Amino acid sequence: MRRPRPLRLLLSCLTVTALSGGLVALGGGDALATSPQPSMPSHVAAPYFEAWTGESPAALAAESGNKYLTLAFLQTEAPGSCTAYWNGDTTQPVSKATFGSDIRTIQARGGNVIPSFGGYSADTTGTELADSCTSVDAIAKVYESLVTTYGVTRIDLDIEADSINNTTGVDRRNKAIAQVQRWAERTGHEVQFSYTLPTTTTGLAPSGVALLRNAVDNGARVDVVNIMTFDYWDGATHDMAADTETAATGLYDQLAALYPKKSPAKLWGMVGVTEMPGIDDYGPEETFTPQDAVKVRNWATAKGIDTLSFWALQRDNGGCVGTAGANSCSGVAQDTWYFSHTFAPFTNGGGRA
């Protein structure tokens, strides 16, 4: 996600709970689940959870009424490394000691989490995994370790800023995705991959299309293309709900060109949208209102898209009316968890008003 301040600055300002001091080998991790986890729903609401705040994702999922969360972010400690940590923090490795209890609790309630790699900070500091690590095999092993350690069935890749233009990183990442998919087929695991990408109001920029074209060329199956329908930074005043629809329609047309054999239903079923509730980083001209949330949910249900999300769960309250781009509140008047309660019924295609 496009954040106005680097993640490392946020970490210096926030108290982060150190959940584990041990490291985990790239190839594994202790599996939490004793049986395979169910597939992701074909229509799922999964807001992002800011994993650096020290809060419990299971507790906030219960409070907000969310069954599914996207946990952000995983990145390397420094450029050149092939080891991923939550928040790039070496005390938070991919291990059942880090978020394991929370993930198991969410799974026991019938939901799951989607670990997310990258984000603006990693994508601008060379610490996004495939930018940092030059070994396709090592990148693939990290992705596999998320599946075997936590019992997850989808991995999200938030690629923007410098990373989306790093053609060697793009190619390594897509080769690793294809390798993990072959591993999953051999071993009986299930894993989907979503790409979270910046968008214009009419669809992906050429860099996003090129990333997906490279995935096709590498035989990497992209299950969901999740566009960030906020932070346009184009100087215009936006109707955020209407612009979500035009951006997603543009994406649909781009996907149709990349995947000409897919039916319209399957193409819409590859689409995801992520909103930023309230006032985004740009300012009041880009304000996603509670009324917009209802419009977008109804549109998403009618179109049959795959994923409806927002950045981020900790912002889902009205504690800072008039503030743009806050980390812990939306900047608009709202009931606490309004956006969660509005989007959550989308899971499995429900909730049309």
**Cα dihedral: 30, 102, 87, 41 (round 10):** 90
**Cα dihedral: 301, 304, 305, 310 (round 10):** 10
Tell me whether strands 68-76 and 112-118 are parallel, antiparallel or unpaired: parallel
Read off the pLDDT band of 89 (50, 70, 90). Answer: very high
Q: Is the dihedral of CA 215, 75, 160, 57 positive or negative?
A: positive
151 part of a folded domain: yes
193 part of a folded domain: yes
Q: State residue 20's pLDDT score.
A: 32
3 part of a folded domain: no
Element containing residue 321 per DSSP (H, E): none
344 part of a folded domain: yes
Cα 320 to chain centroid distance, Å, stands at: 25
199 part of a folded domain: yes
Give me the mean pLDDT over the 195-199 stretch.
98
Question: Domain count of the chain?
Answer: 1
**Residue 331 zone, left/alpha/beta (φ > 0; ψ -120 to 50; rest):** left
Which residues have CB under 8 Å from 84's CB, separation 6+?
Answer: 74, 75, 76, 94, 117, 129, 142
Rounded to whole angstroms, how far apart are CA atoms 179 and 187?
A: 12
Give me the mean pLDDT over the 40-67 stretch.
97
Structure token digits, residue 300: 């998403």
Element containing residue 244 per DSSP (H, E): helix 240-258
Rounded to whole angstroms, how far apart are CA atoms 53 and 314?
A: 9
Rounded to whole angstroms, how far apart are CA atoms 300 and 344?
A: 12
Please check whether residue 231 is in contact with residue 286, taking contact to mean a CB–CB distance below 8 angstroms: yes
Most distant CA atoms of the chain, gap in Å: 52
Other beta carbons less than 10 A from residue 311's beta carbon: 27
Tell me whether strands 112-118 and 84-86 are parallel, antiparallel or unpaired: unpaired
Residue 41's domain comprises 27-349
Place of tokens 């649909």: 252
Checking if the pLDDT of 26 tops 80, the result is no
Tell me whether strands 278-279 and 287-288 are parallel, antiparallel or unpaired: antiparallel
Q: State residue 32's pLDDT score.
A: 45
CA distances from 32 to 37, 141, 145, 147, 157 (A): 10, 17, 12, 10, 22
The DSSP 8-state label assigned to residue 266 in this structure reads: H
7 part of a folded domain: no
Checking if the pLDDT of 29 tops 70, the result is no
Rounded to whole angstroms, how far apart are CA atoms 81 and 285?
A: 40
Give me the mean pLDDT over the 307-321 stretch.
98
* CATH code for the domain of 186: 3.20.20.80
- As a whole-number percent, the residues of the chain with pLDDT over 70 amount to 89
Element containing residue 50 per DSSP (H, E): strand 48-50
Rounded to whole angstroms, how far apart are CA atoms 189 and 291?
A: 40
Tell me whether strands 192-198 and 224-228 are parallel, antiparallel or unpaired: parallel
The DSSP 8-state label assigned to residue 115 in this structure reads: E
Please check whether residue 348 is in contact with residue 111, taking contact to mean a CB–CB distance below 8 angstroms: no
154 part of a folded domain: yes
Q: State residue 35's pLDDT score.
A: 55
Q: pLDDT tens, 140-158?
A: 999 999 999 999 999 999 9
Checking if the pLDDT of 65 tops 70, the result is yes
Checking if the pLDDT of 85 tops 60, the result is yes
Give me the mean pLDDT over the 292-319 stretch.
98
Q: State residue 2's pLDDT score.
A: 47
**Residue 161 zone, left/alpha/beta (φ > 0; ψ -120 to 50; rest):** left
159 part of a folded domain: yes
Please check whether residue 247 is in contact with residue 292, taking contact to mean a CB–CB distance below 8 angstroms: no
Lowest mean pLDDT among 2-11, 197-206, 337-346: 2-11
Checking if the pLDDT of 325 tops 60, the result is yes
Structure token digits, residue 229: 């329908």
If DSSP codes are grouped into helix, strand and coil, which group holds residue 70?
strand
Checking if the pLDDT of 240 tops 90, the result is yes
Checking if the pLDDT of 41 tops 90, the result is yes
Please check whether residue 126 is in contact with residue 8, taking contact to mean a CB–CB distance below 8 angstroms: no
- As a whole-number percent, the residues of the chain with pLDDT over 90 amount to 87
* pTM, full prediction: 0.91
Q: State residue 38's pLDDT score.
A: 82
Checking if the pLDDT of 28 tops 90, the result is no
Read off the pLDDT band of 14 (50, 70, 90). Answer: very low
Read off the pLDDT band of 72 (50, 70, 90). Answer: very high
